Amino acid sequence: MFGFLTNEFIEIIEWQQQNEDDTLCWKFPHRNNSIKNGAKLIVREGQRALFLSMGALPAANVPPQMVAIETANGQTYGFIGDSFGPGTYTLETRVLPILGTLQGWKHGFESPFKADVYYVSTRRFTGMKWGTQNPIMIRDAEFGPVRVRAFGSYAIQVSDPVKLLRELVSTDPALQTYEIAEQLRSSVVTRFTQAVAAAGVPVLDMAASLDQFSGLIQKRLNEEFAPMGLSFPMFVIENISLPPELEGVLDKRASMGILGNLDQYTKLQAANAITLAAGNPGGGAGVGMGLGAGMAIGQQVASAMAPQATPPAAPPPLPAAAQWFAGINGQQAGPFDAAALAAAVQQGRVGRDTLVWKAGMAGWVAAGTLPELASLFAAVPPPFPPSL
């Protein structure tokens, strides 16, 4: 009987936590058996052990920092007593002052006691992913309303085991990261949306501001989860992406920038053709065709973008020939152009005293008085004087 009762008392309390374990808090399984006074408590690095007095009523001398744990129906479940960091401890009255006060051990403090022991992992839980499930609409100064997506990673760590036990664990025998992953992701996306909208950074400059966004979001998350005993020692935004349609427009704009240097574009086409031909079993023929295609494309682009030569200006039309009218034998004759008027002078029909007129003249004048007709009479002798 004595051996049976001895086996019912817990003598070693430990949590053999694995490195890949994602458990934040774990309750030591006691199965209603009592902890032996003098049992060994083993707390490894990255762990902290908390003793919870089951169903204890607050005593007058209970330290005020002890926090009551309440169940869903609001009734008191127990009071957090002593806590232990990494090390090996012998559980005696002198190392459990608070729990001893709550339990009120009797019989010379040699009797076993009952308490729940919770282990809290204080290591960093890294590699936790987050991402925007739906695009986030922001207003950009250059592109107007734009939908963006983002993703990244973060790490969490228990900063206050007592607050974690009170706010998130309660009576749960084990709290794992997947149980709060959705709440964490929703908070991260909300804080990211607020930070991007408030910053007013153009989408093309967001890549240069990832550190700024990450630090701001990390600070806000720490403030939000501090009452739950959690902290975010690391927060990273890995990428902010644009919709495929807008990315296509930006790619075209970048391509036009490359086309500004036609020589480099031609070389690029030739290099691409050589690369494609290297994987073509056709060998040299493929290389030649690729080079020819690259050069032809480059020449076509150069021709299309080269400034067009301005054709020479056409001379103005020749001025219309003057039309002359002459008074011959008392009657108006004409019109005569320069050649016909010269012929009439040679024939003697028009002389120096013949009255002539053309458009623009005020009236009829003698042909010999006009300088522009003087050359017509240069080879014509004056009238022969009458014989005496």
* Average pLDDT, integer, range 296-302: 57
What's the rounded Cα separation, in Å, for the pair 336 and 308?
Answer: 48
**pLDDT at res. 6:** 44
| Sequence-ordered list of residues with C-beta below 8 angstroms from that of 215, at least 6 positions apart, any chain | 235
Integer Cα distance of 82 and 100 in angstroms:
9
> Between these two residues, 36 and 299, which has the higher pLDDT value?
36
376 versus 98: the higher-pLDDT residue is: 376
In this structure, CATH architecture of domain 125-244: 2-Layer Sandwich (3.30)
Torsion angle of the four alpha carbons 82, 88, 93, 96, in this order, in degrees rounded to the nearest 10: 0
- Who's near 355: CB < 8 A, 6+ residues apart? 326, 327, 364, 365, 366, 367
Among 24-33, 132-141, 279-288, where is mean pLDDT lowest? 279-288
Provide the whole-model pTM. Answer: 0.58
With a cut of 60, say whether residue 304 has pLDDT above it.
no
Q: Which two tokens stand for residue 210?
A: 């990832």
pLDDT reported for residue 274: 72
- For the CA atoms of 139, 140, 141, 143, what is the dihedral angle to 10 degrees? -120
79-95: per-residue pLDDT in tens?
Answer: 777 889 999 999 887 77
332-345: average pLDDT: 82
Q: Give the Å distances, CA to CA, from 219 to 125, 216, 232, 248.
A: 18, 5, 8, 35
The listed range with the strongest mean pLDDT (43-52, 244-253, 316-325, 371-380) is: 43-52
In angstroms, how far is the first alpha carbon of the chain from the final one?
A: 191
> Which position has the higher pLDDT, 192 or 111?
192
Residue spans per domain, the chain: 2-121, 125-244, 260-303, 324-377
pLDDT at 386: 63
Instruction: Give the three-state DSSP class for 376.
Output: helix
CA distance 88 to 272: 68
Residue appearing with tokens 């949306």: 193
How many residues does this entry show for the chain?
388
- Summarize pLDDT for 216-249 with one digit per residue, the tens: 999 999 999 999 999 999 999 998 888 777 777 7
Per-residue confidence (pLDDT) for residue 2, from 0 to 100: 40
Residue 46 in tokens = 């990255």
State the average pLDDT for the chain.
76
Q: What average pLDDT score do residues 172-196 get?
A: 89
